[in-house]
Structure 1
Amino acid sequence: MKQVLQYRRSGATRVVEVPAPLTPEAGLLVQNQWSLISPGTERMLVEAGGGNLLNTARQRPDLVRQVLDKAARDGIAATVEAVRNRLDVAIPLGYSCAGTTLDVGPRARGAFEIGDRVACAGAGLANHAEIVAVPRNLAVRVPDSVSLDDAAFVTVGAIALQGVRVADARLGEACVVIGLGLVGQLTVQLLKAAGCRVFGIDVAADKVQLAQAQGADVACLRADPDLLEKVRAFSVGRGADAILITAASSTSDPIQIAPGLARDRAVVVAVGMVGMDVPRNAYYEKELQLRLSRSYGPGRYDRTYEEEGVDYPPGYVRWTEQRNMEAFLDLVAAGTVRPSRLVTHRIPIARAKHAYQIVTGETAEPYLGILLEYPRLPTTEAPTRTRVDLRAASRPLPTSGTVRLGVVGAGSFARSVLLPALQKLEHVELRGVATASSPSAHQTATRFGFGFAATDWHAVVEDASIDAVLVATRHDLHARLAAAALRGGKSVFLEKPMALSPEELEDVLEAWRSSGRVLQVGFNRRFAPTYRRLRAWFASRRMPLVMSYRVNAGAVAPSSWVVDPVQGGGRLIGEVCHMVDVLVDLTGSEARTVYAQSIGAGSARDDVLLTLRFRDGSVGTIVYASGGDRSLPKEQLEVLGDGRSAVLDDFRWLRLHAAGKLTRVGGRLAVQDKGHAAELSAFLDAVRHGRVSPVDPEVAAHVTRVTFAGVESARTGLPVQV
């Protein structure tokens, strides 16, 4: 299918052939007929892409500090790769569209049916694309009397409507709208529909004239020297009851002129993205209320509402995102709001680049509402292919030849660490990549040279030309995908964790035992050069070891999928497994008991202390903390036993002590190597030559069971037998 993408590094906007998305479980698949370009938001996105890095540094000194901190912590090479990874992305443009439902997920059935005319919202979802996949709470049925081109305004209309609700504008009140772009013009119409008197302000004369045509009682230019007097006269000398700022501006001028236009104790609502340098005294002296309107209503940025489709009860939250969208379309159906009056261009999707040239001013012509139009194809002919081939498959090769690798999942870690490492290795062909996101699949395939891009993981797992599959998805899919690939005759490199439950773990093991293929879990630290030197230091020991592993992990947002019990499983299962694996590998022994104490509760256990007792008598502690200062190196491992000691600092340098002597390996400025390239090389070597896995799956399974026991111990406060 065709989709409009903006490439951050180059700033180019292109119409690209990408794989179509899959139907969300709690959503629907929609064949677009129209999508609306939001002039303010999308202009800023396009202009920001490909921008001068020096200018970006001036505008965002906080990002500069983050880059410098990372360079000091992780090294120049890792930092350059991370920055490149952030820049080498294709951003899907658009967030408001309308079309026909092609398919409905199981958790959206009843709310929607195939063939429904629907309007959709959501950045990264309701894009400029022939096919979009949208969660159920970000889609609404379109009334019969509303055309789909009018319905494509639904997101911008809901943004304007939410601003009016936040302003609490009431019948007969005098309201000022600053910024008469698309949102501003719709705000004028909505305020008039609510029985308010409206005064519009803009920097452009044509927008002022249009606002008057939309029903504004008065409208004038921002540069008008009599602006304050006109607002005073409009409000019968009292000042405006509410001021809605719908401008898109980097300056704080709208915020700063508002007090002069407002009455005592009036409301000022920032709807658009404007500077927020607020003149305190001016707001204080009139006791003005400054409010921010958050997008299109309650539910925005709540993953449970937006992605999982869990609604808020109307008795508690009357106007959610979805209900605002419905209300806007009802007003359009009644003829109270008329989006069609704001349309200046209707452009086919194939010529979308021209549309953005108009928006950015590269092509000089007046514009406001720009609609992208899509081919009117029967639903049976909709471009729903979930795989796009970029080059032909190679001829079959013998086992000892090149490994043809498929990848499922291409998030930040895969793009910045695993895939760059694979590119540098020999005897591997990157055959295909599958991700849930159409733009991500296409961009990843293009950047790293994959043969095809897909949005359906079956395209990788069931491809006969693929020998091995690398699984790097979110944690909840790890076990399912690994088991499917093994049963399909593929070797599997499975990023940690191996599974999120004992049942999943047993399924993976059963699939591996019956497959005769290589299964390697991504416990990379055991492949790090400094760790291998440490391990060799204690290879001839006769006594148990005492081990202490401290991790200055840093916090993650409570809303992150990593700590979600369903998707991520929490950090103890998802991340502490690395440290457990190191201690298990170092002792060559299984853990017998686990005792865990944590500060947090539930899946938010970011601070945990684990004590492990091993069958060979060794003991180890793992301190995994999120509250430390980032200037402290992330990881330190201390090992003592058999008359020897060792300290490993952040996989950069190693201190070995024995017989009163100190041996140093590496140094504080050494390049950090956590073993990612070595583990991938070992996996490919095992696949090519039919060798056993470099990481015994039975050992990896034991490590996983230890983390399960840790979760149980943290919950009960008691030691748990493994």
Structure 2
Amino acid sequence: MKQIIQDLKNGDTILEEVPVPVVKSGCVLIKTSKTLVSLGTERMLVEFGKANFLQKAKQQPDKVKMVLDKVKTDGLKPTLNAVFNKLGQPLPLGYCNVGEVVAVGKGVSEFKIGDRVASNGNHAEYVLVPKNLVAKIPDNVTDEEAAFTVIGSIGLQGIRLLKPTFGETIVVVGLGLIGLVTAELLKANGCNVIGFDYDSEKVKIAKEKGITAINPAEGTDQVKFVETFTKGIGADGVIITASSKSNDIIAQSAQMCRKLGRVILVGVIGLDISRADFYNKEISFQVSCSYGPGRYDEEYENKGIDYPIGYVRWTEKRNFDAVLNAISNGSLDVKPLITERIPLGDYNKIYGNMGTSKSIASILEYNQTEKPVSTVAIHKKSFEGNKGVIGIVGAGNFTSATILPSLKKLNADIKYIASSGGLSSTTMAKQYQIANSTTNYKEILTDADTDLVLITTKHNMHATMVLETMKANKSVFVEKPLALTKEELDEIIAEYNKRKVNVAVGFNRRFAPLAKQMKKALGNDNAPMNIIATMNAGFIPTDVWVHDMEIGGGRILGEACHYIDLCTYFAGSKVVAVCMNSMGINPEENTDNASILLKYENGTNAVINYFANGSKAYSKERVEIFSQERTLIMDNWRKLYGYGFKGFSKSSSKQDKGHFNQFDELISQQKKGGNPIIPFEEIVNTTKASFAAIESLKEGKWIEVK
């Protein structure tokens, strides 16, 4: 299928060929008929993509500070690699989609195949959208009209925050697409509406809709006009739908208001606010968030958990329905806003001149004739007879930034890369010379050439995919963790005992050059030691998926397991008991500020401090080992200090956490045979120890690892 994307690195807007998404639980797959181009929002994204690095930095000063902090801790080259990797990820454009439901995921009962629907899907021939971001289209509303649903909801949410009452005077600043829709909805709400815009054509359209519309370029003083119009009282409220860097708009909006007036920001403007403008009349100011309650809420949008209507009357989905109803009953007429209708293949007629376009609403038309496919061939290659042919399941940031660069250096044979949406896997396949991009990972499992599957998906999918890969008699490498529950682990152990296929987990730290140097310096005499390992992991907001115990399993299971394995590697022994304590008086099952105490068979004692409340300017990782009157200190995988060792006192290198060595050994083992890169028994022991840490926190005692 075809999809419009924005290349953030070179600024090109591209019509990309990608595999069609595979329907999944809680979602519907939609075959697109029309999409609406939001010229204001999409112009900003296109212009950002075309800007040079310095201009991009000026637009995002907060990101610049993060980059500088990372340079201090990780070094220049890893930081630049991370920045360029981020810019190399294309941005899908569009969020106003209309089409027909062609597949329905598990748990979706309100939609059926054949339904006409509006959603916030991208400009793509097929889109997969969670059910709470989809609304049915009334029979008397055309697809073109329905394409305004999401845009209308943005304006409607601004109105709901303003809470206008019948007869109030409301000013709309900026009569672009959202502004015109907002003004008409306010009029339908019984308000007196004043609109300002510097485009005479938009002012004309507003006037035709019965709105008092003014072009300030013709000499009208906006503040004085409102004062005169309201007989000296001032506007009851102002909704700003303009896009401008100027601070004048926010100042004028406050000056237009009466005492205790309200200002709602829907657009993007300069926000250097004068206290006096708001203080004297006690004016309230609020920023509107997109389509309404539920936006950016993982539970609502992606898990499909609705807010009770008695407590949250207007969610984003209900706003979608309200806009469609307004179009259906004639209180919102969007047809006069359509400036042009362009076939998808001629998309550059819109995107090629966005900077100068006077279009208000551009409609993209779709006419798919080819049968959708879940796998797209990117590079023609032959893999027949090769060993170590790889299929990658998961095309997220870690795959792009870390795994693929390592595999590229190794000239690895990669036949497939899979992602749920198809875009990220296609982008990576093109960049790293991968033969095929797919949205159906099961094609990898049935492919005769592929003998090694790398799984880099979200944590809740790991165990299931590992089991499927083992049952397909293929070797499997999975990014940590191996499993999230004891039941999942037991299934994997049983399958391993039955088939004896190679199973590896991405505990890469033990493969780091400095880790290998430390292991060599310590020797292999199995003497007990004391280990202190600290991960200054950094704060991650609580709504990020890794904190979700069902999806991510929490950061202890998902990340601290790295250091359990590393301590096991140094100790040369297995964990027999675990005790964990977390920060706070009432520790919970989920924490990312904890100390884990490990007891090993050979008497080694290890403490893992996993903290999320430290400064990002400090080293992210540090290991100290005390053994036989000797001490090793590793700082952030860049420096190593030795005390009490003959002929060794310090060493340094570029930051290397072992990913390259890990994949080098993995592919070599797959091709030549030999022992697994990490003994399966150690993988199981580490996984059980991480489970024991959580259990210890809940029960407040030591937990034996059996």
TM-score range, shorter chain: over 0.9
Higher deviation after alignment, 24-33 or 478-487: 478-487
Question: 2-side partners of 1:496 and 1:294: how far apart?
Answer: 35
TM-score for the superposition, normalised by structure 2: 0.97
Question: 2-side partners of 1:317 and 1:657: how far apart?
Answer: 63
Aligned-pair CA distance for 1:222: 5.2
Aligned-pair CA distance for 1:205: 1.3
1:589-604 → structure 2 map (5 Å cutoff): 589-599=573-583, 601-602=587-588, 604=590
Pick aligned residue for 1:282 from 261, 277, 280: 277
Aligned-pair CA distance for 1:28: 0.5
Q: Give the corresponding residue for 1:373.
A: 365
Q: Give the corresponding residue for 1:348.
A: 343
Q: Alignment partner of 2:499: what SS?
A: coil
| Letter of the structure 1 residue corresponding to residue 448 of structure 2 | A
Pick aligned residue for 1:699 from 679, 682, 695: 682
Aligned-pair CA distance for 1:398: 4.8
1:275-354 → structure 2 map (5 Å cutoff): 275-354=270-349
Aligned-pair CA distance for 1:225: 3.5
Aligned: 1:648 with 2:643:
no
Question: 1-side partners of 2:65 and 2:368: how far apart?
Answer: 50
Aligned: 1:620 with 2:606:
yes
Q: Give the corresponding residue for 2:625.
A: 639
Aligned: 1:532 with 2:531:
no
Question: 2-side partners of 1:657 and 1:540: how far apart?
Answer: 18
Q: Give the corresponding residue for 1:142.
A: 137
Q: Alignment partner of 1:24: what SS?
A: coil
Answer yes or no: is the 8 Å Cα contact 1:564–1:603 preserved in 2. no
Higher deviation after alignment, 26-35 or 478-487: 478-487
1:162-561 → structure 2 map (5 Å cutoff): 162-221=157-216, 224-361=219-356, 366-375=358-367, 383-399=371-387, 403-426=388-411, 428-541=412-525, 543-561=527-545
1:272-298 deviation line (CA, Å, top 9, x unaligned): 122211111011111111121111100
Question: 2-side partners of 1:473 and 1:372: how far apart?
Answer: 33
Question: 1-side partners of 2:427 and 2:250: how far apart?
Answer: 40
Question: 2-side partners of 1:48 and 1:321: how far apart?
Answer: 27
Change (3 A) 1:480 1:150: same
Aligned-pair CA distance for 1:376: 6.2
Q: Give the corresponding residue for 1:664.
A: 649
1:39-50 → structure 2 map (5 Å cutoff): 39-50=39-50
Change (3 A) 1:108 1:398: closer
Answer yes or no: is the 8 Å Cα contact 1:434–1:459 preserved in 2. no
Q: Give the corresponding residue for 2:150.
A: 155
Gaps of 5+ in 1: none
Indicate the percent of aligned positions where both proteins have the same amino acid.
36
Q: Alignment partner of 2:671: what SS?
A: helix
TM-score for the superposition, normalised by structure 1: 0.95
1:639-689 deviation line (CA, Å, top 9, x unaligned): 112232222222222222227x6722323xx31111110010000011001
| Letter of the structure 1 residue corresponding to residue 117 of structure 2 | V
Aligned-pair CA distance for 1:192: 0.8
Q: Give the corresponding residue for 1:59.
A: 59
Gaps of 5+ in 2: none
Higher deviation after alignment, 438-447 or 37-46: 438-447
Answer yes or no: is the 8 Å Cα contact 2:3–2:17 preserved in 1. yes
| Letter of the structure 1 residue corresponding to residue 361 of structure 2 | G
Answer yes or no: is the 8 Å Cα contact 2:35–2:364 preserved in 1. yes
Aligned-pair CA distance for 1:218: 4.1
Question: 2-side partners of 1:489 and 1:416: how far apart?
Answer: 29
Answer yes or no: is the 8 Å Cα contact 1:208–1:221 preserved in 2. no
Aligned: 1:605 with 2:600:
no
Q: Alignment partner of 1:32: what SS?
A: strand
| Letter of the structure 2 residue corresponding to residue 704 of structure 1 | T
Q: Give the corresponding residue for 1:721.
A: 704
Aligned-pair CA distance for 1:244: 0.7
| Letter of the structure 1 residue corresponding to residue 418 of structure 2 | A
1:334-365 deviation line (CA, Å, top 9, x unaligned): 0110111100011011111221124232xxx5
Q: Alignment partner of 2:205: what SS?
A: helix
Question: 2-side partners of 1:295 and 1:182: how far apart?
Answer: 15
1:559-578 deviation line (CA, Å, top 9, x unaligned): 11111101110111111111
| Letter of the structure 2 residue corresponding to residue 415 of structure 1 | S
Q: Alignment partner of 1:610: what SS?
A: strand
Question: 2-side partners of 1:47 and 1:666: how far apart?
Answer: 46
| Letter of the structure 1 residue corresponding to residue 634 of structure 2 | L
Answer yes or no: is the 8 Å Cα contact 1:204–1:221 preserved in 2. no
Question: 1-side partners of 2:271 and 2:221: how far apart?
Answer: 25
Answer yes or no: is the 8 Å Cα contact 1:358–1:367 preserved in 2. no
| Letter of the structure 2 residue corresponding to residue 711 of structure 1 | I
Question: 1-side partners of 2:77 and 2:496: how far apart?
Answer: 36
Aligned-pair CA distance for 1:305: 0.4
Answer yes or no: is the 8 Å Cα contact 1:205–1:221 preserved in 2. no
Aligned-pair CA distance for 1:630: 1.8
Change (3 A) 1:235 1:506: same
Question: 1-side partners of 2:456 and 2:94: how far apart?
Answer: 28
Q: Give the corresponding residue for 2:115.
A: 116
Aligned: 1:104 with 2:104:
yes
Aligned-pair CA distance for 1:395: 4.2
Change (3 A) 1:175 1:519: same
Aligned-pair CA distance for 1:372: 0.5
Aligned-pair CA distance for 1:515: 3.2
Aligned-pair CA distance for 1:623: 0.9
Change (3 A) 1:563 1:664: same
Aligned-pair CA distance for 1:540: 4.2
Aligned-pair CA distance for 1:68: 1.8
Q: Alignment partner of 1:663: what SS?
A: coil
Change (3 A) 1:250 1:34: same
1:301-350 deviation line (CA, Å, top 9, x unaligned): 10110111100001000000000110011010001101111000110111
Question: 1-side partners of 2:448 and 2:243: how far apart?
Answer: 52
Question: 1-side partners of 2:492 and 2:527: how far apart?
Answer: 35
Answer yes or no: is the 8 Å Cα contact 1:387–1:455 preserved in 2. yes
Question: 1-side partners of 2:282 and 2:383: how far apart?
Answer: 75
| Letter of the structure 2 residue corresponding to residue 69 of structure 1 | D
Aligned-pair CA distance for 1:409: 0.7
Q: Give the corresponding residue for 2:549.
A: 565
Question: 2-side partners of 1:416 and 1:245: how far apart?
Answer: 39
Q: Alignment partner of 1:461: what SS?
A: helix
Question: 2-side partners of 1:632 and 1:292: how far apart?
Answer: 35
